[in-house]
């Protein structure tokens, strides 16, 4: 006998079966792309503490290892810049992500690559730090660290302040016990400031008391419930003769690029529910508390003159961080991979293997897998002084303006490979082969590759022979862009795969998975890095190289094929359609695992699958003049004989006839005897 957990049974009667328990199948989204590359800032080296410390700041203790790579979801370019910064680094990752959202993408996962220094050195990355004045901890200074390594942290500023709120004890209070109404809601770890009256010989005294013993007395909800706080040591006078205040901390942090964090009602003890170290660890995007004081109590340096929180409106009101350094020069090819990861691992791996547990991932782009040429230098132009005015006057001879002030861009030296060099080209193929193995191992998404720039057609053809996978797609040539918020001089050549990823997402969102993600003008692309001739296009298209062609209106993506020699999967839309169906069935049919295995279950499975595929057929996903020509579903006694059911198995078969996008239109031209032309097609 089975009862649904959604039904609460009471007295005998008729109960309506909850609508939400109907079993249906629906397609899963296939528009999400992941980008793996180099950024100047962003989440890396995340602590991996024991499970009972997962949400506690004690996880920052160097005794615990850290996860070097982590995938973070962003849903806009602004969200990306808040986490990872802008175009100031040496990597092409920001250009790739910007292109994705510019084409119409809505969600992307980002994995920032940093160098693997090994454990325990992994926990000693060069992050910026600062000591906040105005308070001390029972274990030393109050130090904060940038959330991640890099010079970006040197632009951080932080300030600490205190706020007070008056408290009025009830008349039944005594020198040994303070009593407050339940409405005060004083938590454990609260700090009280007591103003003891002055005497004839002594000035007023202000004491700070940490409250660690709070007793609730009285009947809950009766109106007579009270908070009783023992005082140790006891006071020497009646509490009604002193002034009592609740003391809390406030903190403000800014990164110098527009992000400001403000934390209020912070506790000064680790027992407080809003313990300052816990709040920063769980809520801040910019800073971590230093591990040395995450379990220590904090006391203001002067209980009499408590500093208020400044606005951080100028560089003199906060404490600046220092010591942050970039590790661009150390990053190498192995930082993108994790050969120790296996599908049996319960947690994601490092590098691209940080993407292994993402349920909605459909495409992967690795824009910084290698560097064919460094990015242009960043410049800060000096504009000449304008001599224009509203009145005529004599001509003025001006001197030439000062030359541009050029800031040297850091380089990814260990990632540089020249595709024109035979040895470097072999290394590029080897690295892309590791991505191909990654995709083949998971079989959950398509990795979008970039054909190395500057290759001749014969070299591209030889490059193509190294790949044969339905989970790979290749794009060529590289594309030139210019961003208004980028300080670089001139055009930047970016990965065509990044633009293609955005087009794939846009076509998916507009038309669905069956629609071929091609025949689209790329947004924001100024020019192609190399113009492809008709003869080149004719040679590369049958090989599955997806070409961007420069047209009058912009760069046009002419095809969407995979790098598979299997003709059934040569179209990217077919690969994505089959992946979507497999993903939907695997996730939405788990209910069948513990059902009685018999004709009733087979009929229900067959009906669900048929309804699901019929819906896709009406959307144009399959070819055929009828449903029987487009797909079939089998789940019966023939597929499930006694030997199968006795083993606890159920077998169903699904056959598909996917529709392929139309790539060629053939026109038949006939010249009539009367001199007319007849065009058919």
Summarize pLDDT for 491-511 with one digit per residue, the tens.
999 999 999 999 999 999 999
Other beta carbons within 10 angstroms of residue 161's beta carbon come to 17
Any idea which residue has 């048929």 for tokens? 610
Q: What is the pLDDT of residue 4?
A: 47
Could you tell me how far CA 11 lies from the centroid of its own chain? Answer: 50
Q: Mapping DSSP to helix (H, G, I), strand (E, B) and coil, where does residue 300 land?
A: strand
195 within 8 A of 248, measured Cβ to Cβ: no
Q: 606 and 579, same structural domain?
A: no
Task: Give the separation between CA 196 and CA 244, rounded to whole angstroms.
Answer: 9
**In the predicted model, is pLDDT for residue 680 greater than 80?**
no
pLDDT tens per residue across span 190-202: 999 998 877 665 6
Q: 276 and 180, same structural domain?
A: yes
Q: What is the pLDDT of residue 408?
A: 62
Tokens (6 digits) for 185? 């809601």
Q: 262 and 211, same structural domain?
A: yes
Q: 431 and 574, same structural domain?
A: yes
Does residue 143 or residue 18 have the better pLDDT?
A: 143
Task: Give the separation between CA 250 and CA 273, rounded to whole angstroms.
Answer: 15
Any idea which residue has 């009406």 for tokens? 618
Q: 497 and 373, same structural domain?
A: yes
User: Where among 588, 610, 638 does a domain terminate?
Assistant: 588
Q: What is the pLDDT of residue 416?
A: 97
Q: 595 and 583, same structural domain?
A: no
Q: 360 and 418, same structural domain?
A: yes
Residue 302 belongs to a domain: yes
Range with lowest mean pLDDT among 11-20, 284-293, 629-638: 11-20
User: Where among 555, 588, 621 does a domain terminate?
Assistant: 588
Task: Give the separation between CA 208 and CA 299, rounded to whole angstroms.
Answer: 8
How many structural domains is the chain composed of? 3
Task: Give the separation between CA 79 and CA 166, rounded to whole angstroms.
Answer: 40
Pairing of strands 545-551, 472-476: parallel
Tokens (6 digits) for 382? 């000096």
Tokens (6 digits) for 565? 């020699």
Q: 343 and 274, same structural domain?
A: no
Work out the burial of residue 252: count CB atoms within 10 Å of its CB; fewer than 13 is exposed, 13-18 middle, 19 or more buried.
Answer: buried
Domain region containing 641: 591-681
Q: What is the pLDDT of residue 681?
A: 47
pLDDT tens per residue across span 441-470: 999 999 999 999 999 999 999 999 999 999
Task: Give the separation between CA 362 and CA 350, rounded to whole angstroms.
Answer: 19
* Residues in a beta bridge with 632: 655
**In the predicted model, is pLDDT for residue 17 greater than 50?**
yes
What is the residue-wise DSSP string for 561-602?
A: B-B-S-GGG-BHHHHHHHHHHHHHHHHH-GGGGGS--SHHHH
Residue 545 belongs to a domain: yes
Task: Give the separation between CA 474 and CA 425, rounded to whole angstroms.
Answer: 16
Cα torsion for 613, 616, 618, 619, to the nearest 10°? Answer: 180
**In the predicted model, is pLDDT for residue 382 greater than 50?**
no
Work out the burial of residue 64: count CB atoms within 10 Å of its CB; fewer than 13 is exposed, 13-18 middle, 19 or more buried.
Answer: middle
- Name the band, by pLDDT with cuts 50, 70 and 90, for residue 204: low
Residue 389 belongs to a domain: no
Residue 426 belongs to a domain: yes
User: Where among 561, 588, 615 does a domain terminate?
Assistant: 588
Could you tell me how far CA 281 lies from the centroid of its own chain? Answer: 18
Q: 448 and 556, same structural domain?
A: yes
Any idea which residue has 């920063």 for tokens? 280
Q: What is the mean pLDDT of residues 320-346?
A: 94
Tokens (6 digits) for 462? 């030889």
Task: Give the separation between CA 600 and CA 115, rounded to whole angstroms.
Answer: 56
Residue 325 belongs to a domain: no
Task: Give the separation between CA 603 and CA 601, rounded to whole angstroms.
Answer: 5
- Name the band, by pLDDT with cuts 50, 70 and 90, for residue 404: very low
Task: Give the separation between CA 455 and CA 619, rounded to whole angstroms.
Answer: 40
pLDDT tens per residue across span 559-601: 999 999 999 999 999 999 999 999 998 888 888 888 899 999 9
Tokens (6 digits) for 203? 């000035």
Q: What is the pLDDT of residue 558?
A: 94
Q: 342 and 244, same structural domain?
A: no
Task: Give the separation between CA 14 and CA 20, rounded to whole angstroms.
Answer: 18
pLDDT tens per residue across span 522-564: 999 999 999 999 999 999 999 999 999 999 899 999 999 999 9
Residue 394 belongs to a domain: no
Cα torsion for 578, 583, 589, 590, to the nearest 10°? Answer: 150
Residue 340 belongs to a domain: yes
Q: Mapping DSSP to helix (H, G, I), strand (E, B) and coil, where does residue 298 land?
A: strand
Q: 424 and 375, same structural domain?
A: yes
The rounded mean pLDDT for the chain is: 87
Range with lowest mean pLDDT among 30-39, 99-108, 175-184, 518-527: 175-184
Pairing of strands 243-254, 108-112: unpaired
Q: What is the mean pLDDT of residues 143-151?
A: 94
**In the predicted model, is pLDDT for residue 268 greater than 70?**
yes
Residue 390 belongs to a domain: no
Q: What is the mean pLDDT of residues 507-519?
A: 91
* Residue of 464, 435, 463, 433 whose CA lies nearest to 447: 435
**In the predicted model, is pLDDT for residue 381 greater than 60?**
no
Strand positions, DSSP E, 267-377: 287-289, 298-300, 319-320, 361-365
Task: Give the separation between CA 240 and CA 169, rounded to whole angstroms.
Answer: 7
Task: Give the separation between CA 545 and CA 541, rounded to whole angstroms.
Answer: 5
Q: Which residues contact 456 (CB under 8 A, 6 or more apart)?
A: none
Range with lowest mean pLDDT among 220-224, 420-424, 453-457, 638-642: 220-224
Q: 569 and 436, same structural domain?
A: yes
DSSP state of 354: G
Q: Mapping DSSP to helix (H, G, I), strand (E, B) and coil, where does residue 502 land?
A: helix
Tokens (6 digits) for 414? 């260990």
pLDDT tens per residue across span 71-119: 999 999 999 999 999 999 999 999 999 999 999 999 999 999 999 988 7
Does residue 238 or residue 282 have the better pLDDT?
A: 282
Task: Give the separation between CA 562 and CA 579, rounded to whole angstroms.
Answer: 14
CATH of the domain at 337: 3.40.50.11780
The predicted model scores a pTM of 0.86
């Amino acid at each position: 006998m089975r009862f649904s957990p959604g039904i609460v049974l009471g007295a005998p009667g008729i109960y309506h079966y909850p609508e939400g328990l109907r079993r249906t199948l629906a397609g899963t989204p296939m528009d999400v792309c992941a980008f793996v590359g180099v950024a100047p800032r962003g989440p890396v080296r995340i602590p991996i503490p024991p499970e009972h410390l997962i949400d506690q700041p004690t996880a920052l203790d160097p005794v615990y290892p850290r996860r070097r790579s982590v995938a973070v979801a962003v849903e806009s370019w602004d969200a990306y810049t808040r986490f990872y910064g802008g175009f100031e680094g040496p990597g092409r990752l920001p250009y790739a992500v910007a292109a994705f959202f510019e084409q119409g993408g809505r969600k992307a996962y980002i994995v920032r690559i940093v160098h693997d220094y090994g454990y325990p050195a992994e926990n000693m990355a060069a992050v910026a730090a600062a000591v906040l004045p105005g308070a001390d901890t029972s274990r030393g200074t109050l130090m904060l660290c940038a959330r991640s390594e890099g010079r970006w942290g040197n632009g951080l500023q932080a300030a600490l302040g205190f706020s007070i709120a008056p408290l009025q004890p009830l008349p039944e209070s005594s020198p040994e016990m303070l009593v407050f109404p339940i409405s005060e809601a004083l938590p454990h770890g609260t700090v009280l400031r007591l103003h003891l009256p002055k005497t004839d010989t002594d000035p007023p005294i202000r004491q700070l008391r940490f409250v660690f013993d709070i007793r609730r007395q009285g009947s809950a909800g009766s109106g007579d419930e009270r908070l009783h706080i023992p005082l140790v040591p006891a006071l020497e006078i009646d509490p009604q003769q002193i002034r009592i205040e609740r003391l809390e901390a406030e903190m403000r942090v800014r990164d110098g690029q527009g992000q400001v964090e403000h934390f209020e009602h912070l506790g000064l003890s680790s027992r407080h529910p809003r313990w300052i170290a816990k709040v920063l660890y769980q809520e801040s995007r910019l800073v971590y508390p230093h591990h040395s004081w995450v379990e220590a109590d904090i006391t203001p340096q002067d209980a009499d003159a408590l500093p208020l929180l400044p606005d951080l409106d100028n560089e003199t009101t906060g404490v600046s961080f220092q010591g942050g350094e970039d590790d661009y020069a150390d990053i190498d090819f192995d930082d993108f991979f994790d050969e120790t990861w296996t599908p049996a691992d319960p947690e994601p791996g490092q590098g691209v293997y940080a993407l292994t547990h993402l349920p909605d991932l459909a495409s992967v782009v690795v824009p910084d897998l290698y560097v064919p040429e460094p990015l242009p230098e960043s410049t800060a132009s000096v504009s000449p002084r304008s001599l224009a005015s509203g009145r005529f006057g004599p001509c003025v001879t001006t001197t030439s303006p000062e030359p541009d002030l050029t800031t040297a861009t850091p380089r990814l030296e260990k990632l540089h490979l020249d595709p024109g060099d035979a040895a470097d080209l072999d290394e590029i193929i080897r690295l892309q082969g590791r991505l191909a193995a990654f995709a083949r191992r998971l079989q959950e998404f398509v990795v979008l590759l970039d054909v190395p720039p500057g290759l001749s057609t014969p070299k591209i053809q030889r490059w193509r022979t190294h790949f044969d996978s339905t989970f790979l797609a290749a794009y060529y040539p590289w594309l030139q862009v210019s961003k208004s918020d980028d300080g670089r001089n001139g055009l930047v050549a970016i990965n065509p795969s990044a633009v293609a990823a955005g087009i794939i997402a846009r076509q998916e969102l507009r038309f669905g998975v069956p629609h071929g993600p091609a025949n689209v003008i790329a947004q924001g692309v100024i020019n192609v890095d190399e113009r492809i001739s008709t003869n080149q296009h004719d040679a590369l298209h049958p090989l599955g190289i997806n070409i961007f062609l420069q047209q009058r209106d912009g760069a046009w993506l002419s095809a969407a094929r995979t790098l598979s020699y299997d003709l059934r999967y040569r179209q990217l839309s077919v690969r994505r359609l089959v992946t979507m169906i497999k993903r939907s069935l695997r996730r939405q049919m788990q209910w069948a695992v513990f059902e009685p295995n018999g004709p009733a279950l087979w009929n229900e499975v067959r009906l669900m699958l048929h309804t699901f595929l019929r819906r896709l057929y009406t959307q144009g996903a399959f070819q055929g003049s009828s449903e029987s020509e487009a797909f079939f579903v089998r789940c019966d006694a023939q597929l499930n004989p006694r030997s199968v059911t006795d083993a606890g198995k159920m077998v169903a078969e699904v056959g598909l006839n996917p529709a392929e996008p139309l790539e060629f239109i053939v026109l038949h031209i006939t010249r009539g005897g009367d001199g007319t032309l007849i065009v058919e097609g």
